[in-house]
Amino acid sequence: MGKPTREEAEAAVRVLIRWAGDDPQREGLLDTPGRVVRSYEEFFAGYAIDPADLLQRTFSEVDGYDEMVVLKDIRFESYCEHHMVPIIGKAHIAYLPDRRVVGLSKLARLVDAFAKRLQIQEKMTVQIADMLDATLNPKGVAVILEASHQCMSTRGVHKAGASMVTSRMLGAFREDASTRREFLAIIGQSTGIHVPQA
């Protein structure tokens, strides 16, 4: 399955404009296919990123720091793989280091690497958690995503304002209730969300 050319992609957008009921030749729409195709390069930039590679540079000298590392409220924009419309939300990530830590910006870029693809929220949650687990070998990983799905707010049942919460807890976050509570308390201050015990 080769990648189509830019011209082929723009032609496909003209077909969708006609499908919507408009005329791709009218003046206001002439440059639209080019813009849409360039937007797609941004929306789906995650396919060009190797998430494992992103986390390769870890810092192993952390002077015995073994407390929880938490990055909360990481905004992401993803795209529902069923309808190709946006999923917009926040990710909260924590891990309990075992000698190896990674720069915080790498955690944010990890979220983008998986978000900027056609996704389902459950799968993205697992992908982020499992990648961190595999590359850092920490004592535990916790990932919570909360997001609203435009396929639910702008079509179908039209329920705006509903958000979906998914989580994956590994290692200490799964086995130790106090570790999990500490994480939920830290992120709960900003989100007010309640996550069922794993």
Binding site for Zn ion (CB under 5 A): 80, 82-83, 151
What is the distance between the alpha carbons of residues 83 and 132, in angstroms, rounded to a whole number?
A: 28
Residues catalogued as catalytic: 80-83, 121, 149, 151
Query: Token pair of 54, please?
Result: 């992103």
Return the number of the residue (86 or 140) whose C-beta is nearest Zn ion.
86
Shortest Å distance, C-beta 77 to Zn ion: 14
Is residue 92 marked as binding?
no
Shortest Å distance, C-beta 147 to Zn ion: 11
Looking at residue 30, what DSSP letter applies?
T
Return the number of the residue (118 or 193) whose C-beta is nearest Zn ion.
118
Shortest Å distance, C-beta 180 to Zn ion: 30
Is residue 83 marked as binding?
yes
Shortest Å distance, C-beta 23 to Zn ion: 28
Cβ atoms of 121 and 87 closer than 8 Å: yes
Cβ atoms of 172 and 165 closer than 8 Å: no
Is residue 151 marked as binding?
yes
CA-to-CA separations, 65 to 30, 124, 183, in angstroms, rounded? 57, 28, 17
Helices marked H in the chain — which ranges?
Answer: 6-20, 32-43, 51-54, 104-115, 121-136, 150-153, 172-175, 177-191
Q: What is the CA radius of gyration of the chain?
A: 20
Return the number of the residue (82 or 159) whose C-beta is nearest Zn ion.
82
Return the number of the residue (80 or 131) whose C-beta is nearest Zn ion.
80
Annotated binding site for Zn(2+): 80, 83, 151
